[in-house]
A and B are shown apart, each in its own frame.
Chain A
Amino acid sequence: MITYIQILISSPEFLAQLIINGLLVGAIFALIAYGLALIWGVMDIINFAQGEMVIFGGYLTYTLFYQFGIHPILTIPIVAIALYIFGLLIYKSVINRLLGEKDIFITILATFGLAILMQQLMQAIFGPDVVTANPELGMLFLFDGQLIISNVQLVSFFIAVFVGVAMFILMKYSRMGQAIRATAQNPRASRILGINIEKVYANTFAINAALCGIGGSLVVMVWTIHPFIGLVYTFRSFMIVILAGLGNFLGIIFAGMGISSLENVTGFIIGAEFQAAVIFCLLVIILVTRSIRARKRREYIQ
């Protein structure tokens, strides 16, 4: 462990490599987490099938790439549209029955069931193999090759940022975005003001699915996927949202990138088997301090 710390101090390029890598791929996680936060905030639903939708998007990119010869990056809009429609279907069949459900376990159970169903279906359709769609974009050598950034990570970072910014603008200025935000604030008042809540909910969920699909396309380009790896992405986005708080757009971006960088550095220093443990410990500490702070504030107000 000490030798690893010494390496990071004596050759900072490795530290830079770990952090930059984390920042780049963190943007992908932030995108997925943003979708989760969106439906959590608007519909009060925690979607445990988030990761499976990501993997589904990844498989679509993979299939379009190998069966139809479409470049992985160009598949992203197709996947986004496909997942948008898929999201609408899921909303109509499952999610709209969960709205207004006071017991949070019902929504968790339902979406968890959906996750298992999707895993098995993907396994049946795409097979159990580990797949990757390498767009072979080459590498970027910085500082005489001391720092190597793979272009696919760089490109996926920019795509994630682009989609994120586009979402931000849409939510702020478009009619649907405003309706979504209004519904999040107060569904009843929005309905009185003539907003079609049902449509807003369906759209919100479909947008989330599309974001997951885009995330999945990036995941299959950067890493590998198989039908049973979705939970990793669900938990990661869940953690990011918990850390950042609902409705905190910038917070989600920083949390997404920060967690990934931190994970890389801790994995380097104390070993890959502990990196998840460290992140979860951090989560516990943050939640505890936050609740202590909240308690103090309440006492003060009283």
Chain B
Amino acid sequence: MFKKILSAAVTMLALSGLMLSPMAMADTIKLGAAVSLSGKYSTAGNHTQKGYDLGLKYVNSLGGVVVDGKSYNLEVIYYDDESTPARGASLAERLILRDKVNFMLGPYSSGLTKAIAPVTEEHGVPMVEANGASRSLFNQGYKYMFAVLSTSEQYLQEAVNQIAIKAGKPASEITVALAIENDPFSQDIRAGVLDDVKRHGMKVVIDDKLPRDLSDMTSTLVKVKALKPDLLVVSGHSKGAALSVRQMNDLGASVNMLAMTHCESAKLHDTEKFGTLPNHALCAAQWSPSVSSTGAVFGSAMNYSKIFEDTYGYVPPYQAAESTAAVIVMADAITRANSVDKDAVRDALAATDLSTFYGQIKFSEAGNNIAKPMILRQLIDGKYYVVAPANVAEAELVYPRP
């Protein structure tokens, strides 16, 4: 008896699914995304998802995308990749083969993007990614992957230019210390910094590679104390940022200019937790609410920031902003292609030249965005001020660190 009811129910469900799905298909275009909603990247993964959601909401509310005179809503199917690359790759496969998504949005982090890109590439599904900056993503000859953000080697190059201007002595006398984690992404940053250091003719006095399971930076920071470099560059994800400001204070090691990555994810701006310790640190960022770029969907960067804050209750970190930008780029490309054909959209993506609240977006042959510079923000009493590059700066860089 029970079995009969069950099988009847299943049949009905299946039938209703059959009837409903073509109708639902008719006016939505499905995007797929594996995002880190749990595991070690879950904070940033959540920013990514919120960025995508807000982008979708606004694109759809402005009429969605128009293909052949018919307007479609965009929809995203999310899976949690648990911050593990292997899981990300299999979820990408599932999104493409089982859920039959039209296009893909990227995951969070370079590592996950690296795992997913070969899958989307194999199936010829265009992917716009917003959170994989590693240089190594863009020398694989990928044809279907496009990234709206600046690549990792650019992250802290601006800091090198700034010390050259501010130090008040010839470049050959300027000393630079590097404490950078031993992972591909951070080492890209190091390569970029070293390129610029060499170009200016500065001297590298410390070049430490921090271990992945970093728990103590005493030896590196005592070196900093002994050699007093003009510029200290730290990049070791959020733990490196948090640990270095804590231990620099404990060891009495100070430098004139401190440049870091991941200030936001380490929550260095939380004055209740870090006090004044991270004051005047320079933080690399892809984007800031105060940059002067504007675009069609959200208007100015400031306006986007306001909308995001009204929706989610906090100021958008750049991870959210670039994710929203990815949605805008995808919608723009589908509209221009006037088709949901994968190759037509790929070609439209490659030809993108779009102004957005996030910045100008124009892809190189390799798929990375070459139109938007990285910015450098200075952290003062829990607030970030854009100090470089000069054309977007809102405040004068305070040098040396008091």
Contact = CB atoms under 8 A, between A and B. Distances in A.
Contact of B219 (A128, A222, A265): A265
A268 B273 CA distance: 29
Given A223-B243, A224-B242, A17 B222 contact: yes
B227 A7 contact: yes
B157 to A, nearest CB: 23
14 contacts: A4-B223, A11-B226, A21-B218, A66-B272, A120-B38, A123-B38, A128-B40, A134-B273, A134-B275, A136-B275, A148-B251, A222-B250, A223-B246, A268-B219
B43 A272 contact: no
Nearest to B249: A150
A139 B40 contact: no
A272 B222 contact: no
A120 to B, nearest CB: 8
A152 interface: yes
Interface in B232-283: 238-239, 241-243, 246-247, 249-252, 265-267, 272-275, 277
A17 B251 contact: yes
Given A128-B40, A224-B246, A267 B219 contact: yes
B216 interface: yes
Closest 5 A/B residue pairs (Cβ) = A267-B219, A150-B250, A273-B209, A148-B252, A272-B208
Interface in A4-42: 4, 7, 11, 14, 17-18, 21-22, 25
B369 interface: no
Among B217, B226, B273, B274, find the residue whose CB has the most chain A CB atoms closer than 10 A.
B226
B329 interface: no
Given A127-B43, A132-B273, A18 B238 contact: no
Interface in A121-135: 123-124, 127-132, 134
A150 B251 contact: yes
Contacts of B239: 130, 224, 226, 229
A226 B215 CA distance: 10
Interface string A239-275: 0000000000000000000000001111110011101
B294 interface: no
A273 B208 contact: yes
B219 A275 contact: yes
Contacts of B225: 14, 17
Interface in B178-237: 179, 182, 207-211, 213, 215-220, 222-223, 225-227
B39 interface: yes
A231 interface: yes
Contact of A131 (B41, B247, B273): B273
A4 B226 CA distance: 9
Nearest to A21: B218
Given A7-B227, A272-B179, 4 more contacts: A127-B43, A150-B251, A272-B211, A276-B211
B42 interface: yes
Contact of A139 (B215, B238, B252, B273): B252
B382 to A, nearest CB: 15
Given A17-B222, A231-B213, A264-B218, A130 B238 contact: yes
Contacts of B266: 129-130
A153 interface: yes
Among A21, A132, A224, A226, find the residue whose CB has the most chain B CB atoms closer than 10 A.
A224
Contact of B39 (A128, A129, A132, A263): A128
A18 B243 contact: no
A228 interface: yes
Q: Majority SS of interface residues in chain A? A: helix
B215 A232 contact: yes
A148 B225 CA distance: 11
Contact of B222 (A18, A124, A222): A18
B242 A128 contact: no
A7 B205 CA distance: 12
A54 B199 CA distance: 46
B40 A272 contact: no
A246 B187 CA distance: 41
A271 B41 contact: no
Nearest to B210: A272
A129 B226 CA distance: 31
Contacts of B40: 123, 128, 226-228
A15 to B, nearest CB: 9
A131 B243 CA distance: 9
Contacts of A263: 216, 219
B211 A152 contact: no
B226 A7 contact: yes
A272 B39 contact: no
A18 B182 CA distance: 23
Nearest to B36: A128
Contacts of A130: 238-239, 241-243, 266
B268 to A, nearest CB: 10
A123 B37 CA distance: 11
A137 B110 CA distance: 39
Contacts of A4: 223
A148 B207 CA distance: 24
Contacts of B246: 132, 134, 223-224
Contacts of B39: 123, 128
A268 B222 contact: yes
B213 A272 contact: no
A268 B225 CA distance: 11
Nearest to A269: B219
Contacts of B273: 66, 131-132, 134
Contacts of B38: 120, 123-124
Nearest to B223: A268
Contacts of B249: 150
Among B38, B43, B241, B252, find the residue whose CB has the most chain A CB atoms closer than 10 A.
B252
Contacts of A127: 42-43
A120 B82 CA distance: 11
Nearest to A153: B250
Interface in A40-94: 66
